[in-house]
Structure 1
Amino acid sequence: MLVGLGSADLADVQKQSLKIDIYDQYLNGVGAGAWPTWNSPSGAYVQVVAKNADTLGAVPMFTLYQMASNGDGNLSGLSNQTFMTGYWNNVRLLFQQIKTYGKPVLVNFEPDFWGYTQRLSTNADPATVFALVNSDPDCSTLGNHVAGLAQCLVQIARKYAPNAYVGFPPALFGDLYSTALGYMQKLGADKADFIVMQTLDRDAGCFEAIPQPSYCQRAGTGWYWDEANIKSPNFTEHFALAKSYNTGLQLPVLWWQTPLGVPSAVAGGSAGKWRDNRARYFLTHAPDMVAAGGLGVVFSTGEVNQTSINTDGGQFKTLTTNYLANPAALP
């Protein structure tokens, strides 16, 4: 089972001599200031990340996060010709750059976006949500809806970069649990190469804080999972959910943006040092993840105030060193 890191600077990874298999970075924005403008010529940021991954002996991974350009959950761009033209041009550029790189690359398509569109859909059918698709020359035969959008992403990937491996992330929103798998099937997510399984975009302790800090404002409880797997929520339940996607889509699972917090008996924590137990549990129960269809797990911070490899007291270094001494074999 592979182990990766995301949203970490190359120098920070090198400073600890960390051994990782996957190196993930976000691609944000459409229009002015979007990721193609971060380096010159346009789109060269892909090569920068790929070179850093090479330096670490890792496979580069890109998390395409363009649909949040107008704000998280704002889907107004789907019917805006200017936005969608820019969106598709960026997607095409990404895969052209990946082809130039010439070695395997992983791409994660639009976290959370699919959940927001599902909430707008009728009978959990992505073909009922409008999106401008077939005005793009590479997808002229596809429908103008979210199902067509998902198919277009895969179609462009296959056309321009046969060395790219792509995956869709089911949105693990509580209100969608019962219908999310069917929605992903209707999207055509089974035509991708892997499933992106999200855990939590913040450390559990950040949501436990009273009062919650501005960057962890979310209702609910049960953020810190039960490692004894007796009380709910727990890890056994989560792995069963992952297995349901693995079985339903017939694809391997890659966990992504898994928090780096350190376990504690005391709820909460502080900025950069919020508690969480997913890193410890995942890397000491890798065979359970493989049994759930797991291919690998990528750890990263979902927000700058979360625990990172620089603030975890060496936990990630210790856990990965111990794991790599006896890694879990894939079937």
Structure 2
Amino acid sequence: MRNSFSWIKALLWAGILTIASTPASAQGGRVHRLLPAHFMLGLANGSSELEWLRNARVPIEMRYQYLSGGVNTGQGWTTWRPKARYAADYVRDSRAVGAIPVFTYYNMLHSRPARGSSESEKVYRNLNNPETMRAYYEDFKLLMQRASAAGDRAVVHVEPDLFGYLQRDYADGGRRSAREVSAAVASTGMQELRGLPNTGQGFGRALLRLRNRYGRGVLLAIHASDWASGTDIGSSQNPRVDARGIGVRTGRFLRGFGEGWNLVFVSPSDRDAGWMDRYRPGGTHWWDPANRAFPNFERYRQWVDGVSTGADLRVVLWQVPIGNRRYRTMNNTEGHFQDNRAEYFLESRNHIADYVRAGAIAILFGAGAAGTTHYDDRQRDGITNPPPINGNTLISRYTDDDGGYLRLAITRYYRVGSVVVPR
């Protein structure tokens, strides 16, 4: 089925349909030739959600899927379809709907033996286990081969949390470099990795080498965690936090994992603020959209600016919560939790332009945990319009758990014209 918004995408990629005001400057590296010179929107969209995307005809430009389960457990992505076909099928399906496929490669924590008392310790010990890492690099190599053979471009987003754990727990918040963090690389005995140091830098260079050799058209994205410095940018109420300085330090730490990364991903929050209020009460989960109280969007933008500058890479805001405060559907019950991040970006093009000037190039919306808000009818409760709870008075006519907010807001963004990202 041909995407009925293909004409919008054709104009976008031709540089014809763009917002008139272009940000004067932007931090970070050049926009890669495989990416458009405008701000992109995307969704978490697995194979089971592809039908919704086709039927809703939402003109997203990126769709992402976790590849997880571990590399030596018999449950990883290579087992999801016969002959390790899942990744290639996902690339082809993405191309058919006009979207760039994005894989979040999240396997270090879930691989064996994963010994330790915390996630950080389990990740670090696996990273230093030659047998585990041999399986890891072989699995990554296969992904490069499958993704490259199936299409002309894909993004592989490497290990959210891993780089944050290394920075916070094994590199003094980024005051030490990736060269001072140990990792199993050449010690795995994998022929392609001969000569690489057994360090964090060697780990990054190993992935880059495998991409360069086997992954034509694959862009690699490293991950910056907003808590890795020891100060949580997304929750701190301290008005004296130097968000940009912390971001620069994090970006420079990430540069130590080798030259050749194409993007850096960040996660403003992976769960709706309403969900966090219910299940993790007592924290500062809501960001002030007026940017007066902390935490807020402007402070986070400053941190993004620092990360982009320090890493010399464009930034993708990833797994941004889906909830809103507009529709009566959003009554802070299971699957219908409120948040204000989607509103902040999708209801103000100036806010997007501000983030573009800080180095951002895309937002990918996605639910980060069970029970958080989703854009389809994940709760299977149909159209719901319970009484408003805090001014959320719009009536929904969609079965979507967010009331249809994302499908309408994303379509509106592209119909008006996307925000330019200077090359």
Q: TM-score normalised to the size of structure 2? A: 0.72
- Counterparts of 1:136 and 1:255 in 2: how far apart (Å)? 34
1:233 to 295, 298, 318: 295
From 264, 267, 290, the equivalent of 2:356 is 290
- Tell me the percent identity: 27
The equivalent of 1:206 in structure 2 is: 275
- How far residue 77 of structure 1 moved from its aligned partner, in angstroms, is 1.3
**Larger relative contact order, structure 1 or 2 (CA cutoff 8 Å, min sep 6):** 2
Among candidates 360, 366, 378, match of residue 300 of structure 1: 366
The aligned counterpart of 1:41 is 83
Asked if 2 retains the 8 angstrom alpha-carbon contact of 1:282 and 1:289, the reply is no
**60-69 or 283-292, which deviates more:** 283-292
Instruction: Identify the residue that residue 251 of structure 1 maps to in structure 2.
Output: 313
1:6 paired with 2:6, answer no
1:278 maps to a residue whose letter is R
Deviation digits for residues 14-48 of structure 1, max 9, x if unmatched? Answer: 23221110011011121211111111112x11112
Query: Does the 8 Å contact 1:259/1:299 carry over to 2?
Result: yes
Residue 94 of structure 2 is aligned to residue 53 of structure 1 = yes
Amino acid at match of 1:256: W
* Amino acid paired to 1:206: W
1:191 deviates by: 2.7
Contact conserved, 1:257 with 1:299, CA < 8 A, in 2?
yes
Residue 174 of structure 1 and its aligned partner are, at CA, apart by 5.9
For residues 121 and 243 of structure 1, the distance between their equivalents in structure 2, rounded to whole angstroms, comes to 22
The alpha carbon displacement at 1:66 in A equals 0.9
Q: Which amino acid aligns with 2:413?
A: Y
Where 2:339 maps in the other structure, the secondary structure is coil
Give distance in 1, aligned partners of 2:414 and 2:352: 11
Contact 1:133–1:149 under 8 Å retained in 2: yes
**Corresponding residue number in structure 2 for 1:182:** 252
Q: Give 2:71's aligned residue.
A: 30
Match of 2:409 among 316, 319, 327: 319
Q: Which runs of 5+ in 2 are unaligned?
A: 1-38, 232-245, 377-400
Indicate how the Cα distance of structure 1 residues 265 and 273 shifts in structure 2: closer, same or farther if over 3 A, else same. Answer: closer
Question: How many Å apart are 1:110 and its aligned residue?
Answer: 0.5
Q: Which residue of 2 aligns with 1:132?
A: 184
Write the letter of the residue equivalent to 1:181.
G
1:17 equivalent among 39, 57, 72? 57
2:198 equivalent to 1:149: no
Q: What SS does the aligned partner of 1:298 have?
A: strand
Counterpart mapping for 1:60-75 below 5 A: 60-70=101-111, 72-73=119-120, 74-75=122-123
Please name the residue that 1:80 is paired with: 129
- The amino acid that maps onto 1:11 is E
Cα RMSD (Å) of the superposition?
2.2
Q: Deviations over 1:23-78 (max 9, x none)?
A: 11011121211111111112x11112112212221011111101121564322212
**In the alignment, what sits opposite 2:337?**
274
Per the TM alignment, residue 265 of structure 1 is displaced from its structure 2 partner at its CA by: 12
Q: CA 1:114–1:296 in structure 2 vs 1: closer, same or farther (change >3 Å)?
A: same
Matched, 1:309 2:363: no
> Distance between the aligned counterparts of 1:308 and 1:36, measured in 2?
26
Question: Contact 1:5 / 1:298 at 8 angstroms: preserved in 2?
Answer: yes
| Contact in 2 for aligned 1:205/1:275 (Cα 8 Å) | yes
Matched residue SS, 1:41: helix
TM-score by length of 1: 0.91
The structure-2 alpha-carbon separation of the partners of 1:233 and 1:265, relative to structure 1 and needing over 3 Å to count, comes to farther
- What residue identity is the alignment partner of 2:106? Y
The structural deviation recorded for 1:220 is 6.0
1:209-252 deviations in whole A, cap 9, x for unaligned? 1xx2xxxx5x8622111111111111111111111111122211
What SS does structure 1 have at the residue aligned with 2:156? strand
Q: Distance in 2 between matches of 1:234 and 1:157?
A: 37
Unaligned runs of 5+ in 1: none
Q: Please give the secondary structure, in 1, of the residue aligned with 2:344.
A: helix
Residues 273-330 of structure 1 deviation map (CA, whole Å, 9 limit, x = unaligned):
1111111112233212211111111111111211010210001012112211222112
Q: How far apart, in 2, do the equivalents of 1:128 and 1:244 lie? A: 23
Task: Tell me which of 259, 263, 277 is aligned to 2:325.
Answer: 263
Query: Shift of residue 193 of structure 1?
Result: 0.8
Equivalent position of 1:194 in the other structure: 263
The worse-fitting range, judged by mean Cα deviation, of 141-150 and 167-176 is 167-176
Q: Check if 1:222 corresponds to 2:288.
A: no
CA contact (8 A) 2:291 2:298 kept: yes
Q: Is the contact made by 2:158 and 2:220 (CA closer than 8 Å) also made in structure 1?
A: yes
* Contact 1:7–1:301 (8 Å) recurs in 2: no
Aligned length: 322
Which position in structure 1 is the counterpart of 2:155?
Answer: 106
Moved more, 4-13 or 121-130: 121-130
